[in-house]
Amino acid sequence: MTDADAAPDSTRAPTRPGTRGGLTTRAEDFPRWYQEVVARAELADNGPVRGTMVIRPWGYEIWERLQAAIDERIKAAGAHNAYFPLFIPEAFMRLEAEHVEGFDPELWVVTHGGGRQLEEPVVVRPTSETVINHFFAKWIQSYRDLPLLVNQWCNVVRWELRPRLFLRTTEFLWQEGHTAHADEADARAYALRILTDVYRDAIEEVAGIPVLVGHKTARERFAGAVRTWTCEAMMGDGKALQMGTSHELGQNFAKAFGIQYSDATGALRHVWQTSWGASTRLIGALIMAHGDDFGLRLPPALAPLEVVVLCVREDDAVYKAASALSEELRRGGHRVHLDARTDTGFGRRTVDWELKGVPVRVEVGPRDLAEGNVTVVARHLRKKETVALAGVADAVERICRGAGRELRDEALAFREARTATVGSMTEALEAGSAGFARVPWHEVGESGELQLAAQALTVRCLQRGDGSLAAAGEPDDALVAVVGRSY
């Protein structure tokens, strides 16, 4: 028996029927479980204005690490970061009719400033196509200015009827990329590069969440786009979540804003454009894709702390050994915290660290220490092992190296178990309510989308039968629709 097993029952967290450490179970009430994890893992809180959120330090550091991973890949794709204004003249929004029609119900409009009514109302950015394209028209003159590849990290504001922390909020954080190209083929290739080399790679390899890639139907695509490419993931309740999108905008905005360049012959031509974005919604995805009945399970790459070293009881030898282990693990490149709060019960502390999803716990107690051992716990497996002091660094490295991959494999197995290949709308309606249904698009069509919508289902994406992306000009009727219920 380890020191952790021997901890007095009085230090354990209070529980109630149907819960784990005070949490509602996912099977009992998944939405409530989600809200409790967000609150008790100290990820975020509701802001004072309806629909807004305060991202707490633990949640924000997860975002910073996600942001860094995505930003690194964006820069590798050749885009450069910039910043554009929060306020957009209302007149800009009227230049591209389809874009405005798509966003009009979501716009926040400022009519007063400095105690006076503004001569022209300004829109708080819901996205920045219009203001960025105003400047693209100034910056682009010649084919030598292309491609122009710009990204910004910022906040956006949209009216939200049913807010839910991280998933749908009035204000959220994101990146939005905007590019201009000399021809359609180059724009399309870049939109796909962002989809696969940036979003899919970061989401699968760093966040450990498997995604399906494909394009949206006309009903579901971004307002103003000619084609929207998407990464779609399955959450722990079988529902779909859109993780990131990359849009081919054609020449819609170029013609509205007069974005032209002189080609090598001197002829004036309109540019071809893309836009793409991913947001703090990804934190919600981490919770729902990997979380269990004990809280978060974070991939080590995104965890604010990879390791917490706990002193089981107040004891000089225990504290000295725990401090030495903490320093050794830090020197090994790990993010480590020493928890020596022995005035707080050991059980309470382990429950709290499990809630926060720290990938590894090292528990140091007098009984194990007398035998030259400690207890190491892999959070994602909730598996304990007794490890000699000299082997702790290797055990921690092994767990951190494998946890992200193992979480991804588990999520992939779950998705495959909840995905059905069907041949008719009737079957798609049934299977899509429990997970994903893969059905030939020609069996769905626009009329089928209306039937799906009546059952709160949507086509998440269209892709080839083998899961690959459609080629340019490939007819949708040859593709498979992935149907599911979404957030």
- Structural domains in the chain (count): 3
Q: What's the CATH code of the domain at 234? A: 3.30.930.10
Residue 30 lies in a domain: no
pLDDT at 98: 62
Q: Clarify whether residues 389 and 439 are in a common domain.
A: no
Q: Clarify whether residues 278 and 256 are in a common domain.
A: yes
pLDDT tens readout for residues 96-120: 666 556 566 788 999 999 999 999 9
Final residue belonging to a domain, choices 414, 431, 449:
414
pLDDT tens readout for residues 25-78: 999 999 999 999 999 999 999 999 999 999 999 999 999 999 999 999 999 999
Rounded average pLDDT over 335-354 = 96
pLDDT at 416: 98
pLDDT at 2: 65
pTM listed for this prediction? 0.93
Residue 108 is part of which domain span? 44-290
pLDDT at residue 222 greater than cutoff 80: yes
Residue 18 lies in a domain: no
Rounded average pLDDT over 368-396 = 97
pLDDT at 93: 82
Q: Which two tokens stand for residue 227?
A: 């084609």
pLDDT tens readout for residues 230-269: 999 999 999 999 999 999 999 999 999 999 999 999 999 9
Final residue belonging to a domain, choices 382, 414, 446:
414
Identify whether the C-beta of residue 21 lies closer than 8 Å to the C-beta of residue 351. yes
Q: Clarify whether residues 286 and 314 are in a common domain.
A: no
Q: Clarify whether residues 71 and 105 are in a common domain.
A: yes
DSSP-based three-state secondary structure for 484: strand
pLDDT at residue 17 greater than cutoff 90: no
Residue 95 lies in a domain: yes
Residue 210 lies in a domain: yes
**Element holding 74 (H helix, E strand):** helix 57-76
Q: In the chain, pLDDT over 70 holds for what percent of residues? A: 94
Residue 72 lies in a domain: yes
Final residue belonging to a domain, choices 414, 443, 464:
414
Identify whether the C-beta of residue 447 lies closer than 8 Å to the C-beta of residue 403. no
Q: Which two tokens stand for residue 383?
A: 């598996």
pLDDT at 9: 38
Rounded to whole angstroms, the Cα distance separating 359 from 303 reads 7
pLDDT tens readout for residues 140-196: 999 999 999 999 999 999 988 899 999 999 999 999 999 999 999 999 999 999 999
pLDDT at 5: 54
- CA-derived radius of gyration, the chain: 25
Residue 36 lies in a domain: no
